[in-house]
Amino acid sequence: MIRFLNKGSSSFEDYQTCEDLSYKILGDNWKYDKSGLVAEFPLDFDTMDKFNLHSATNYGLLFTYDKTLKRNVAECANNRYARFTTENLPKTTFTLSILAKSNGNNTASNNMIFGYGQESANKSCTISSHNSKLSVEKAYSQESTNFNVNDNQWHRYTVIVEDSSHLKIYKDTELLLDKDSKFSIESSAIGTIGNWLSQGLFWQGWLSEALIYDKALSLDEITQICKIDNI
């Protein structure tokens, strides 16, 4: 079950599965290939507002029109993020993918973009910026690339975990990291968009089109997603 916190409230709005939530938002008009896709979060004002999918604070998410993507996108900053919990997201082999653009202020030790997990060693998988470098937060440890996220450009960041033991990180279609890395994601994992759990490690910039797959995407599949993004 995926659960989004209602705007300005501590109560949850429940959906049976990520797929159920995505269908409620998009109907049959999923933009991306549905093979293995278990959740698509457009992060635009209309869908977020329609289903009351807002942040865990009283501020809610901000939305702004982006001329590059030609649509509204979520604007993240301090205390502005979305949070969800689920028992049905994949835990051992999965792909997380999101469009992100930094406002140039992601210079802190950690600024979180999108993912899920717990505050315990190796029990988180969250796309992040660690000291400005594109990284994956594993819970108090990171796997980092050499790419500086503060380039004021839209990129699709994709993270692939295979059998809880291997990690790949892509910037658009460029493979930046490919190595063995242990993960222990559990069913009680908490998901966040623009933050990490309750830590206040906010992404500084904009986000759009968050995707979760229950398989390891191939480079060809990532390439197709990037073509759809048209960035």
Domains of the chain and CATH, by start: 2-229 (2.60.120.200)
Length reported for the chain: 231
Region of residue 220 (left: phi > 0; alpha: psi -120 to 50; beta: else)? alpha
CB-CB contact of 92 with 196 (8 Å): no
Which parts of the chain fold into alpha helices (H)? 18-26, 45-50, 219-229
pLDDT tens string for the chain (231 positions)?
344 443 344 444 444 445 555 555 555 565 666 678 877 777 766 665 555 554 444 445 677 888 888 887 888 877 777 776 566 678 999 999 999 999 999 999 999 999 998 888 899 999 999 999 999 999 989 999 999 999 999 999 999 999 999 999 999 999 999 999 999 998 777 788 888 876 788 899 999 988 999 999 999 999 999 998 887
Whole-angstrom Cα distance, residue 222 to residue 95?
Answer: 10
> Token digits for 178?
């490919």
The pairs formed by 29-36 with CB atoms below 8 angstroms and a separation of 24 or more are: 31/209, 31/228, 32/211, 32/225, 32/228, 33/221, 33/224, 33/225, 36/95, 36/213, 36/214, 36/215, 36/217
Return the residue matching tokens 């048209």: 230
